Amino acid sequence: MNNLSEKILKAYSINKDIKILVNYIKPSFLFKTNILTPIHLGRSIAKDPSKDGTITQDDLKWLYDNCIGDDDFNENISYTNRRVGFLTGTYWAYKNYDKLGNPEYFGSFGYRRLLDPGFLINLQNYDLILPKKKDFKFETLKSQFISYHGEKLYDMTIKVFSKIHNSEQTELKKYFEDTKGYFDELYIMKKELFFKFCDWIFPLLFEYLKEPQIILNNNDYRDIGFIMERICGYYFNKLTKNKNLNYCETDVIITQQIKVNKKIINEKLLTNLRKNIN
């Protein structure tokens, strides 16, 4: 456990009426407190080797021992996780909110990305907490999306969105023409906002699931996941325009970054040592 992880764990251990799902697909540092609730995404796939051969039995045991599963209710969408991403966990919370203790605030993090906990001090002053926007400066959200994931996926994004939320199609396209946007599907919001968000986004998700899958570069199957990351960004941006809502933006903490950097440094040191020994 590194110092950064220890500090995060301590900060998210204070007694507040808030629950945050920390989404896992494999073992990592365990973020688990009275606020942070680890959830294993895609459990219905991972526990069946014939469907998903990417996880070992030891890893699966760790996930069962430390996390709730996104497949423990009849209407679960766990089986879509490899295509959909975080929203299989969000759907679990939407349908099982009472199992979280019916908190006043709900949030969603990834095991590698969390929001800086400083907002907790003044939590009662806010309806919504978001990560700081990413600024691509010289390209729009649309051009960035197309350059990373292809025009075919962008066209599907707009086409399906217009079926469910046609009255907002112009606003979505306007958002895509901006150079700044919300990413990573990180948020904390009041309970009533969370349920409105779910009522808005899940009919859209189910419509996207009807579309033939687009396999991206390097055999990446997360076509809907990348779409929904942008759609969530649009929705959060829309919320910030509501003058009746109080919101703040905070930094994103990337917990794996330090480990990766240390690993790179250690590999360089070992290489130099081997040369000197030789």
For residue 49, the model assigns a pLDDT of 62
What's the burial of 38, exposed, middle or buried (CB within 10 Å: 0-12/13-18/19+)? buried
For residue 220, the model assigns a pLDDT of 87
For residue 259, the model assigns a pLDDT of 46
For residue 184, the model assigns a pLDDT of 96
Note whether 238 and 171 are within 8 A (CB).
Answer: yes
Range of the domain at 184: 3-277
For residue 261, the model assigns a pLDDT of 45
Pairing type for strands 252-254 and 68-69 reads unpaired
What is the rounded end-to-end Cα distance, in angstroms, of the chain?
Answer: 34
For residue 255, the model assigns a pLDDT of 85
- How many structural domains does the chain have? 1
For residue 217, the model assigns a pLDDT of 84
List of the chain residues with pLDDT < 70: 1-2, 49-54, 256-278
For residue 136, the model assigns a pLDDT of 96
Threshold 0.85, pTM exceeds: yes
Closest CA to 97 of 30, 190, 24: 190
CA–CA separation, 162 and 168 (whole Å)? 8
Alpha carbon 210 to chain centroid distance? 22
